Amino acid sequence: MCIMDALAYISPTFGEIRTQREEYKAMKYRNEQLLEEAKAANENAARERQEGIEEARTKKLQAILNMGKNTSKMASNNIATSSVSLLNLNKDEKLNAELEALSTLRNYNNRADNYERQADKIYSDYSLGKFNQKRMVRKGVAEVQSKVNQDAMAIATAIMA
């Protein structure tokens, strides 16, 4: 038996190894993408929460500004700044601002929760991908060992013949 005949037995094994290595690289790349997507989703959640806090704070500050404007308007019209109508107006302004701020926070927190659920799902997909990646390596090594043993037996049988 010549070397070319032996290579004819072995070369499909090398092709299989190359194919498995390419599949492994593709799976690893996809897992890296999933990890980046999960990180981005968590960053989006944090950003949404922060934006909600800032917008709620802005609404409260706007209410304080409106209360000051109400007081100045009443004072310019010679109405006592301690009058019941002004106090009620300012109390209503403050209450409405609190309600708007809470509503705003709830909306932003709901969006942040959605991002976090998305990140959890992506992390789950990532974990499954890593598991499959490890399983693929173990299975590939076993298949290659089996194929190499078969090739060695075929070459030994061919040489003996």
pLDDT of residue 121: 94
**Domains in the chain: boundaries:** 3-160
- What is the amino acid identity at position 122? I
Residue 2: CB atoms within 10 Å? 8
pLDDT of residue 58: 93
The answer to whether 122 touches 37, Cβ cutoff 8 Å, is yes
Q: What are phi and psi of 40, to 5 degrees?
A: -65, -40
Residue 147: CB atoms within 10 Å? 17
Overall average pLDDT of the 81-103 stretch: 85
pLDDT of residue 135: 83
pLDDT at residue 60 tops 80 = yes
Overall average pLDDT of the 20-27 stretch: 84
Q: Among the ranges 100-109, 121-130, 146-155, which has the highest mean pLDDT value?
A: 100-109
Overall average pLDDT of the 76-97 stretch: 81
Its pTM stands at 0.65
Confidence of residue 114 (pLDDT cuts 50, 70, 90): very high
